[in-house]
Amino acid sequence: MDVFKGIPVAPGVVVGTVFILDDERVRIPRRKIRKEDVERELERFEESLKDSIDELAALRARTEEELGGEAATIFAFHLGMLSDRTVTDPIRERIRTDRFTAEFSVSAAFENLADRFARMGDSTFQTKINDVWDLDRRLLRHLIGEHRSRLDYLDHQAIIVAPDLTPSQTASFDRSRVIGFVTDAGGKTSHTAILARALDIPAVVGVEKLIQKASDGQKIIVDGDRGVVILKPDEETIEEYTRRIEDLAKLRLSLGELADKPSITTDGVEIELHGNIEFPLEVETVLTHGGSGIGLFRTEFLFLNSVVEPTEEEQFEVYRECVELLKGKPLVVRTMDLGSDKAHDRWAFPERNPALGCRSIRYCLQHLPTFRRQLRAIVRASALGPVKVMFPLITTIHELRQARLLLRDVMDDLAEEGVDFDRKMPVGIMIEAPSAAIVASIFARESDFFSIGTNDLVQYTLAVDRTNERVAPLYTAAHPAIHRLIKDVVRAARRHKVPTSICGEAAGDIEYTVLLIGLGLRSLSMTPSLIPHVKRIVRSVDIGQCERVARKVGSFDSERQVSAYLRDVTRTIIPEAFDGRSVE
């Protein structure tokens, strides 16, 4: 039995057999053509381009129908790449000037592009490399014919083990056969991961060395909740996981009943539970899981998924769709939080230390026309329902003042143009840098609300990169420093009557629910599927109990003590829900 640890990207647990998918990239010989053949070769290329574009348009439509808009944006991104002349002109150039065959020119151009993405040293670019190979393969298929994938021979239920998967490969999975997948490469925000979630196939990526050890037909367990993969499990482990799969199915059913129940403690205090979303499609998921609004709309994904900047109109349409789906429930739109691990060569640039660089509000304030377009779209949406705007990574009061000034200016312009909007639209900030947390009382005087972003607050307070698996054990919201910062922020906010929510991953982790309520938070925003789990805790505790837990946590010296204690507290409240997530 071999146990591997990777990055969980799509939840669920499956037991099955291995099917290796190790399709080699097609090798294209470096062949020259005669001068008189150049025009014909260019024509061949244009034809393959047109066929690929037609195919992608059909694929996008089909994906939208079967899996929804979020999954379809991936093929919209592919279409955008192929329609972008900065991508295709180097191919034409290579045929015309260097006189290489169309297939070699395509292959060389995409290799160059993939190399450029790889050199960016940034996880967002790394995840795009797959998209580049996908397009390369598609164009080559039209030029030189089908390269049959092993996947075509899969005639039974199996778990795919692959070095990497392209989005097209993932989208083409037959769900009745592919019950899970594991890859060597990949990250949480890769398109392949997004598709796995849309397809509802448990998946773990970043599992190094598995492909060397695995072979077809071996038994394998994929735990997409915890990022664990077990190759050749023993009987006892298989039984344990089979029980867990049954428990999870029961838990899913009983949690479904909670959706319509109010989120109140046993002594009647309401705890707002909101959802964090990246795409409008997820609004529906938040509502069906019993969420009462959107506490964080990560709008940067609108920019990351597009090769060109979305226009004001396109952005407005997205916000409008969200407001309409929410039917009067609140929507917090966070202005684009680009940079650091959420980068794109159109919106950011390579930096030596991107997490401390020109990201988030800093980027926006250096790119005012782009920022203005987004603010105009948000302000216009405020006419249609309760929209709030939130600025990310505020570290100095000047950033907040500058952003507010720009917002006022945008509002004045719109008023002059006779456009409707809510002049009193609340303006809030993310508290996700220690500087903002420490002087929260200063920010409270000029903010309408706060949202504590523990993901970055932990990263910057503990000096631990949130994306680096080598220091992952040091990255925890249980550290006493985080406890103290949250406590101080909530106190300062209360004194100034500034409503405060929390939207980092800790908000959706049931081990933290009691503590966060005990620290005075009454609004939590999280990954939509976690809302029922947190609601279950909320409905099982009273405020006094939560405050006692928070006081006790305040007396601990180390994150280990805090974690162990919070685990015990949670296990006592709902043992069965906790058991499902704690199998080690």
Closest listed residue to residue 232, CA positions, set 17, 447, 538: 17
Question: Residue 339 binds which entry of Mg ion, ligand PEP, none, with Cβ cut-offs from 5 to 8 Å by kind?
Answer: none
**Residue 455 beta carbon to Mg ion: minimum distance, rounded to whole angstroms:** 5
Q: Which two tokens stand for residue 307?
A: 């090769």
Centroid of chain to Cα 129: 17
Binding Mg ion (rule: CB under 5 A), the pick from 103, 272, 432, 511 is: 432
Q: For the chain, how long is the longest CA-to-CA vector?
A: 85
Please name which of 164, 182, 189 lies closest in space to residue 24, comparing C-alpha atoms. Answer: 164
Binds 504, which of ligand PEP, Mg ion, none (CB < 5 to 8 A, cut-off by type)? ligand PEP
- Quick note: the x/- pattern for Mg ion over 451-480, rule CB under 5 A, is --x--x------------------------
Is there binding between residue 136 and Mg ion (CB under 5 A)? no
DSSP H or E segment with residue 231: strand 228-231
Candidates 36-44, 348-356, 447-455, 542-550; binding stretch for ligand PEP (CB under 6 A): 447-455
191 labelled catalytic: yes
d(CA 227, CA 205): 8
We find the least distance from the C-beta atom of residue 512 to Mg ion, in angstroms, to be 17
- Rank residues 169 and 523 by Cβ distance to ligand PEP and give the closer one: 523
Neighbours of 419 (CB within 10 A): 13
Is 402 a residue that touches ligand PEP (CB under 6 A)? Answer: no
* Dihedral sign from CA coordinates of 351, 403, 323, 332: positive
Contact partner, 503, from ligand PEP, Mg ion, none, Cβ < 5-8 Å per class: ligand PEP
Per CB under 6 A, the segment of 280-288, 441-449, 453-461, 508-516 that binds ligand PEP is 453-461
Binding mask 257-296 for ligand PEP (x = CB under 6 A): ---------------------------------------x
Q: Which of 78, 274, 364, 503 is catalytic?
A: 503
**Binding flag, residue 454, ligand PEP (CB under 6 A):** yes
For residue 240 the two structure tokens come to 């344990």
How far apart are the C-alpha atoms of 339 and 353, rounded to whole Å? 11
DSSP secondary structure of 132-180: HHHHHHHHHHHHH-----GGGG--S-EEEEES---HHHHHT--TTTEEE
- Rounded to the nearest whole angstrom, what is the least distance from the CB of residue 537 to ligand PEP in the complex? 20
Q: Are 273 and 513 in contact (CB under 8 A)?
A: no
Binding mask 427-446 for ligand PEP (x = CB under 6 A): -----x--------------
Q: Which residue has the tokens 């006493």?
A: 480
Instruction: Assess 453 for contact with ligand PEP (CB under 6 A).
Output: yes
Pick 48 or 461: Cβ nearer ligand PEP: 461
Residue in 275, 220, 188, 176 with CA at minimum distance from that of residue 4: 220
Task: Please state, in angstroms and as integers, the Cα–Cα distance from residue 265 to each residue in 196, 262, 546, 565, following that order.
Answer: 35, 9, 10, 21
Q: Which stretch binds ligand PEP (CB under 6 A): 165-173, 180-188, 448-456, 557-565?
A: 448-456
Q: Pick the binder of ligand PEP from 282, 456, 509, 511 (CB under 6 A).
A: 456
Closest separation between CB of residue 451 and Mg ion, Å? 10
Task: Determine if 278 is a binding residue for Mg ion (CB under 5 A).
Answer: no
Helices assigned H by DSSP within 340-453: 360-366, 368-381, 397-416, 434-438, 440-444
Check binding of 428 to Mg ion (CB under 5 A).
no
Q: Please tell me whether residue 337 binds ligand PEP under the rule CB under 6 A.
A: yes
Q: How many CA atoms lie within 13 A of 385 on its CB side?
A: 18
Kindly list the residues in this chain that would bind Mg ion in the complex (CB under 5 A): 432, 453, 456
Kindly list the residues in this chain that would bind ligand PEP in the complex (CB under 6 A): 296, 298, 337, 432, 453-456, 503-504
Which are the catalytic amino acids? 191, 503
